[in-house]
Chains A and B, each alone.
Chain A
Amino acid sequence: MALNFHPPIHYAKSEYIETDTGNKVSRRATIAGPQNIILGGKTIIASGAIIRGDLRRTGPGHAVVISLGRYCLISDGCILRPPYKTYRGNFNYYPMKIGDHVHIGSNSVVEAATIGNHVQIGKNCIIGKFTIIKDCAKIADNTVIPPNTVVPALALFAGSPGQFVEDLPESTQELIDAQTKQYYSRFQPLEQQQ
């Protein structure tokens, strides 16, 4: 399922840092607590994104706060912040896990606990605390998902509060797989100027 007519998306080479595993992270993104963040490879973090790896669970030792899979996209102005709650009188942050092939549209705020594989999140969404999004689900643009919501697999959610709209086609997994890979290969550096 190739997408043949999509033009390359160019970025200034100097703006992005490319890691050994093909992650492309904008220098204009705010990555707090990078030692607590895992990127799976070939993941793009666009400029203006904020990833709060510093909001870690209290206690000694190393802790993974945010983990992202392969072929993810965190678009411009996104905020990824681990969820928190007070449990038995103790305030704590909890880790956030995001699967492979997850695209998050620009200016969305994500405080989910778990996001599965092949999930699409639109622009200007708010994903509430401890939300669980299962595989191949899709959140339409401008959706507000209240805290503690569960989005089942292959469901399209939209609105405020986010509601189930319809089941996505059976081929969603292949479609998203191809789209995310295509996006990564279209995301090409431009040496300088232009």
Chain B
Amino acid sequence: MTLPSVLYHCTCSNAYSATNAPPPAHLPSSSYAFHPLSTLFFCEECDLVRCNRCVAVEVSGYYCPNCLFEVPSASVRAEKNRCARNCFQCPHCSNTLSVVGSDPPPNPNPRAPPNVNSSGDSPFFLFCNYCRWDSVEAGMTFEKPTGLAHQLQKNEDLAPETLEFDRLKDHFEPLLRASLHSSSSPAHPVTSTPMNAITAAANSALNRDIPGLRRKGRGEKHNLKDEWGVYRARIDSANSGVDAEGEVDFLRDCEDVNEIAGLEQRWGSSWAHSIKANDLEPLRVPLHSKQSKRCPECRHILIKPEQKSQSVRYKIKLMAANYLPLIEIMLAQPPAQMPTALQQRTAKGRPGAAQGAGAGASGNVTTVGAGADELGAGLLVSGRTYQFQLAFTNPLYDPIQVRLSVQRAQPTGFTLPTAGTGTSTKPARAPFAISLPTTPFPISAYAEAWEYDDDDEEMFMDDEELEDIIAGREVGAAGGMGALRGGRPGGAGGSEKGNVGVLERKANVTKVGGEVVLGKDALGEIKFNMLVSYTYRSDDPQSNADDGSSAANTNKTGTGEMKTFSFYSVVYLGTVGPRGATR
């Protein structure tokens, strides 16, 4: 069950296309270009939305997710990105392990769990209180209950693959230093994945070994490659490594599949390790990081967390939710179940009382119409007309004017009728047609007072009406302009009055109605791209010289500087099931 939703477009997916328009909603690639508003950032310099996929990420601090210790970056390297305190992961279930001591007297009840305190006697061992694995199984016991990580790391450091890797690193180190000096400005100044030294070295090695790549590489590097010796591995990998015969014998005698370590369990260690589940060793807990995020274009910081690892506050946090209006959608019932506009109006008065599609808490919804079940399941029926409502919430302290339009370009076979303007002229084979209000509608400014818990709406009524007079003025016009549509191809008698247009204005929320006419052969997901443009008065007169990349443009008007910002969103209305499946 998927509820109707609205996702926002980030222009980063358009890096290689000429326009800023997102891919048509019905293409699979469309899902990569749209994100929930809460995950998006906003760069004030570029005046553009940024998403997690395009921002440049920098690590601003490391911490252990178990003991929450903030690890200084110097020790992160020495400790190989894992916690050096007493945090260990169970090799079987990845749960955190506890250090337990052995009980000196024999336990009268062998099934009782060991005492989970680090009070006890030597030898100490690690115990998983989820899957009951203990490190004695892997032949690991400890003299002291502290400093276990140190002992484990010593083992890790002496492993042949670690030694090999270190040697490899030493070998590449001089080249790396040389290449860093020679090319102080890398070809790609901005990469969202942090390019570390090892990757750089590997790239150079690749360039050297594959002649085709080398030609593409920069010429200045050419002389460096010759200074470089040949690397000889510590171990000849062809002749050593896993004891294959022993493994075959083990597998032949194996009776329980759990005796073999799973792929997930072995993923973290090298492939030379034994496949026996008994041989798995506890892992030190890998560190997590706090990240700051930058705009990929102008390098301005979008997210800068506080230093403390468990603080959820940010020194800088530029979320798109504070700039773009929040759009929420709800599908009203189909006209077949809702004969009059009157019912629509009552539903409007008590928001959601008659609408099953609104929320997850369906158990408590009082009046549920006949069509609510299929709406609740996100299923639409072809050949019908559905009304939907869009609620726009203005996060800005200035009133805004919003204009909506459906994206025109539909390059595959069918054309979407453009919003509201004579849908009858379009070919009847369009699987669905969308009607949206075409004239701009106002949304009042956001005011802190509306956030107060005790919502005495009457208190603000006067303010709001004032607001209408100051900013809105064409509320009446916007409300009445729903009936612009001519005869529709579907023609399934939706009421012509007031379903498309502004339905309600309250505080900084404006609700508008729209309509979708499903063709007879509509099938699959019904979603469309919607271009949202909003105009607001800009406070700061810094006109950041529209340098082409900006989607916003400014124009001087009599009332001060008005700015228009446009963004695309995809509106998902529901899914039309195959014929017969719903009835």
A and B associate in one complex: yes
Seen from chain A, the residues whose Cβ lies within 8 Å of a Cβ on chain B are 1-11, 42, 85-88, 118, 134-136, 146-150, 152-155, 161, 163-164, 169-175, 181, 185, 190, 194
From the candidates A10, A136, A170, A190, name the one contacting B317 in the complex (CB within 8 A): A170
Asked if residues B328 and A5 are in contact (CB atoms below 8 Å), the reply is yes
User: Which of B338-360 touch A at CB < 8 Å?
Assistant: 350-353, 355, 358-359
Query: Roughly how many angstroms separate A6 CA and B317 CA in the complex, as a whole number?
Result: 28
Closest chain A CB from B574 CB (angstroms): 14
From the candidates A148, A155, A175, name the one contacting B38 in the complex (CB within 8 A): A175
Does B27 have its Cβ within 8 Å of any Cβ on chain A? no
A2-B393, A4-B351 known; A147-B129 Cβ under 8 A:
yes
Which of chain B's residues have a CB closer than 8 A to the CB of A42? 453
- 14 CB < 8 A contacts A-B: A2-B509, A5-B328, A7-B351, A7-B361, A86-B115, A134-B68, A152-B310, A163-B94, A164-B65, A170-B314, A171-B321, A173-B312, A175-B38, A190-B366
A9-B364, A136-B312, A148-B116 known; A4-B328 Cβ under 8 A:
yes
Does B435 have its Cβ within 8 Å of any Cβ on chain A? no
Which of chain A's residues have a CB closer than 8 A to the CB of B389? 5
Which of chain A's residues have a CB closer than 8 A to the CB of B395? 1
Closest chain B CB from A22 CB (angstroms): 9
Asked if residues B311 and A7 are in contact (CB atoms below 8 Å), the reply is no
Asked if residues A4 and B509 are in contact (CB atoms below 8 Å), the reply is yes
Asked if residues B511 and A88 are in contact (CB atoms below 8 Å), the reply is no
Closest chain B CB from A2 CB (angstroms): 5
From the candidates A5, A147, A164, A170, name the one contacting B329 in the complex (CB within 8 A): A5
A4-B351, A4-B391, A5-B328 known; A154-B312 Cβ under 8 A:
yes
> Closest B-chain residue to A149, C-beta based?
B96
Which of chain B's residues have a CB closer than 8 A to the CB of A172? 38, 312
A118-B312, A163-B94 known; A6-B66 Cβ under 8 A:
no
Query: Roughly how many angstroms separate A170 CA and B317 CA in the complex, as a whole number?
Result: 8
Query: Roughly how many angstroms separate A90 CA and B66 CA in the complex, as a whole number?
Result: 27
Seen from chain B, the residues whose Cβ lies within 8 Å of a Cβ on chain A are 38-39, 63, 65-68, 93-96, 98, 115-117, 119, 129-131, 288, 303, 309-312, 314, 317, 319, 321, 326, 328-330, 350-353, 355, 358-359, 361, 364-366, 389, 391, 393, 395, 453, 455, 508-509, 511
Asked if residues B455 and A185 are in contact (CB atoms below 8 Å), the reply is yes
Closest chain B CB from A9 CB (angstroms): 4
Asked if residues B68 and A150 are in contact (CB atoms below 8 Å), the reply is yes
Which of chain B's residues have a CB closer than 8 A to the CB of A150? 65-68, 96
Across the A-B interface, give the 6 residue pairs with the lowest CB-CB distance, nearest first.
A7-B352, A4-B391, A5-B330, A146-B130, A6-B359, A161-B95
Which of chain B's residues have a CB closer than 8 A to the CB of A1? 321, 326, 393, 395
From the candidates A9, A85, A170, name the one contacting B116 in the complex (CB within 8 A): A85
Asked if residues A11 and B364 are in contact (CB atoms below 8 Å), the reply is yes
Asked if residues A152 and B355 are in contact (CB atoms below 8 Å), the reply is no
A5-B328, A8-B352, A10-B366 known; A171-B38 Cβ under 8 A:
yes
Asked if residues A4 and B359 are in contact (CB atoms below 8 Å), the reply is no
Query: Roughly how many angstroms separate A7 CA and B351 CA in the complex, as a whole number?
Result: 6
Which of chain B's residues have a CB closer than 8 A to the CB of A170? 303, 314, 317, 319
Query: Roughly how many angstroms separate A123 CA and B65 CA in the complex, as a whole number?
Result: 24
Which of chain B's residues have a CB closer than 8 A to the CB of A88? 119
Query: Roughly how many angstroms separate A26 CA and B355 CA in the complex, as a whole number?
Result: 26
Give the residue among A2, A5, A173 with the most B Cβ atoms within 10 A.
A5
Which of chain A's residues have a CB closer than 8 A to the CB of B93? 161
Query: Roughly how many angstroms separate A194 CA and B364 CA in the complex, as a whole number?
Result: 10
Which of chain A's residues have a CB closer than 8 A to the CB of B330? 4-5
Closest chain A CB from B501 CB (angstroms): 17
Which of chain A's residues have a CB closer than 8 A to the CB of B366? 10, 190, 194
> Closest B-chain residue to A151, C-beta based?
B65
A9-B361, A134-B310, A152-B309 known; A4-B303 Cβ under 8 A:
no
Which of chain B's residues have a CB closer than 8 A to the CB of A9? 361, 364
Asked if residues A152 and B351 are in contact (CB atoms below 8 Å), the reply is no
Which of chain A's residues have a CB closer than 8 A to the CB of B393? 1-2, 4
Which of chain A's residues have a CB closer than 8 A to the CB of B312? 118, 135-136, 153-154, 172-173
Query: Roughly how many angstroms separate A174 CA and B326 CA in the complex, as a whole number?
Result: 13
Query: Roughly how many angstroms separate A147 CA and B310 CA in the complex, as a whole number?
Result: 20
From the candidates B38, B68, B358, name the one contacting A152 in the complex (CB within 8 A): B68
A10-B364, A148-B98, A152-B68 known; A5-B119 Cβ under 8 A:
no
